[in-house]
Structure formats: structure tokens, C-alpha cells
Structure 1
Amino acid sequence: MSSPLRRLLDRVKRRHPALYWRTRNAGALAAWYADRARPAAESPYDDRFWDGAEVGDWDGFARTILHHFPVRSVLDVGCGGGRLLEALRTADPTLRLKGVDASAPALERARRRGLDVQPLDLVRLRAADVASAAQALGDFDLVVCLEVAEHFPAWHAPKLLALLTRFPKIVFSAAHPLQGGVLHVNEQPPEYWIRRFAERGFPLSRRDGELRAAVAALDLPPWYAANVHAFSKGDA
């Protein structure tokens, strides 16, 4: 990108952040459609992308999750290369773990770690089939979905929410406006997702504040502390 154009965009971002955010989302959506038409080998979700997604104290993140939610089974929706699942296994080898993702290279990376993972493309999944897909995955005490929702166009978000809320406890994060990233087509403020989960009977967990404070103390990319929340069915 040329320097004059970069300066112009920076000026718009400072003066009109809402306009910049919506324009950026629209541009990312065009790129998203182009990516869906590309061969898998040309996708930006390549090894370099997944290497970058694994930076940080994931072992600490796993211990933090299990400290606040001492569960016996965890499903990771959008597991990528399986770094969090691997850390959960290290923290407690007795856990029953499963991951799903739409990226074949990511799933292959996770399988090399000896993890139980399988493909699931929520974009291609019909809304009517979400319940059966969740049932096929089995019962889990906790579902984790980190920095995934922003990669789906907004009209696919209900399918993701329907899947996640099939499980009793949820640890969730999604990119906030102007966070930036690869093919972020639906960056939303946390309040947006909090409202959407509440509409489905999942208010913020009583442990949400403690979890967020603990995550903020970890050596992780800053968006996890900014975006992470915990939801529990029936919590006040």
C-alpha cells in the first residue's frame, strides 16, 4: 500500500472510526469471497498463519481455563493447529478432548500432535443441521471458541452461536472493531456477543471477571485479554 493512501486511511481511522470499521469489514468480505474460490493451497490460512496463531503462553491459558472451570471434557471449535488442546492435555492428561476446524492444513497439524480432531465447515453447514452436528460431536462440559467468529460473515454467526450453546459452559473470544487480522469480516465489540449469548440463555459466567483478570496476566497476544469472556447456562 502506498504511503499517501496509508496516511489517508490512518486519518479516516482517527476521525471516523465507525466508518473505517464498516468499510474495512466490507473490504474483508470481498477478500473472504475471493478466498473461498481459491484452491486450498493458495489460502492465506497457511503454515505461516498457524505459526503466528500459536504464539504465547498457551500452557498458562490452559491451566487458567481449568482452574476456573474444573471440567472433565473440552471441545475446541476452531481449534486450528491444536495448540490449546495440546496445552489442555499437558495440564490434565485425563481430559477428554476434541477439536473441529474447517482448515485442512490446521487439522493435519493438530493430528501430528496426536489430537482427536475432525473437519467442520460452519459456512457450508445448513442451519437446520447444526443440532445434529453438535449431537454427533458428543457431550462436553465446556466448549472453547477463540478468535473464530470474526472469520465468518455476520449471517453465519447464528449457526456458530447455535453450536456453542449446545454445551453448558463456554469460553469465547472474537475480534473487536479495528483489531485487524486475516480475513476479519465480522469484527464486533464484546457487548455484541454478550447480548447474543444472553438471548440464547447464556449470560456471563460468575467466573467471567476472574477468568479475564487471569488471562490478562498471561503472556499472550493482547486481543485475548481484550476479548475473552465466559458464559454459563443459567448463571445470573
Structure 2
Amino acid sequence: MSLPRLRLERCSFDNGIWTIDAEEAHHLVRVRHCYTGSLVEGLLNGEKITLRLHCGGGAVTARELSRETEAAFEPRMELVLGLLKNDQLDEALRFCAETGVFRIHLAVCERSVPRYEGARLADKMKRWRKILDEATKQAGAAAPPLLCEPVPLSAMDFAAMPAQRLAAMLSDGTLPLRDAAIESALALAVGPEGDWAPEEAELLLAEGFAPVSLGARIMRASTAVAAFCSGAAMLYKK
């Protein structure tokens, strides 16, 4: 049985002892019913740290017992994701963390309904990163996916992405995902609700994305993220 998990970014460390921040402490004690002597697993910067809790004096602390670096997840996946409505994007981000996505590039597309800028964007980025942090605890991943701020699809830095590129599309002439030879690093692309606009599909094809099909049925965008990323991970052979 796995240990209760917490993220340690907001916790402080001194001489082998972690002071657990209030939100994580509340979750461990009130939700997970941990107590003095409980073993828990801390997640920080790609490392998994085994801790023994001490609850008392109005604070929760933990002694570090051991730590190990998590092996790099393969394949290394980067996801270009058309900006989605709140509930759909929340689900998609959770699926990214659960399926091992390394980096998420949010793309503002023609059919993307939300538009964020300034303080509102900063608040959204903070919320989205918190969703990724929470999802890594559930998945037992030591590090959350990196999240890039939304930019127009036409302004995206495709040159920095892996050479193998696959885009989920609803058009004819797509390659079934099961027939793709998945490499150790790849970029995947999933559009917003309603799929890519024609000029966006053309741009992706021009940038070397091969069009792939995720099956005969039309999925919600967040479901497509789960199917595409988990499918690519399962099809990868070292």
C-alpha cells in the first residue's frame, strides 16, 4: 500500500526536519488521518523523500529518513494543448500529470473560448499549477509537468520541440495511433473543443506534425488528452 503523499515546495527544511505548511498539514491530519509516527512520502524536484511525522504543539513536522531520485519517465512527451474551458482544462491537466507528460504548451486557438491576460492570467496559472501539483500526489510522480503560459498557436516555438510530432485530428487521411512508432521523445497536439481550425491544421502539418486518429468516436478534448498521452506511453518500446 502506498504512503500518503505531500508536495514539499512550500515546506521549510532545517537540520533534517521538515516543517509542513498549513495546507499540506491539514490534508495529512484531517483528510488522510495521519498521526505522530506515520510514514509519508514527500515529493520535491524529481525526488521522493520518506518522512516520519510528528504532530504536536500546533505544528506538523517530519524527520527525513531517506530520499531517492525518480527515474526519468519515457517517452518524454510534450503536449500542445488548445486552450479549453475551465472544467475541461482542469481535467486535461490532471490527465497530463497522470500519464507522464513532461511539458504542456497552452495554445490560444481560433475556437478557444477563454481569453486570459494580466492579473487574471497570473491567477489562472497559479491555479493550474496547483492542479498539476495535486495530480502528481495522486499519481505518485515526483515532479509535475512544466506548464507554459498560453500563446497563439502561430507564435509557438515549435523549433524547440522534439522531432517526432503527432497531432490528433478529425480529418480524413489520418494514421491510427496504434500504427505510429513512438520514439523516446515526441510532441503531441490536441485541439480545443471543435478541433483545429483549417488554418491551424495546416500550420501543424507544415511544422511536421503527422495527423493521427484516436478512434472512430469523437471525444471531449480532455478525454482526447488522456487517450493520446496514455496511448503513446503504452505504445513506446525502448
Structure with the higher fraction of residues in strand conformation: 2
The structure, 1 or 2, with the larger RCO (C-alpha pairs under 8 Å, 6+ apart) is 2
Q: Bigger radius of gyration, 1 or 2?
A: 2
Same-fold status (TM-score > 0.5): no
The structure with the largest helix share of the pair is 1
Q: TM-score scaled to structure 1, two decimals?
A: 0.31
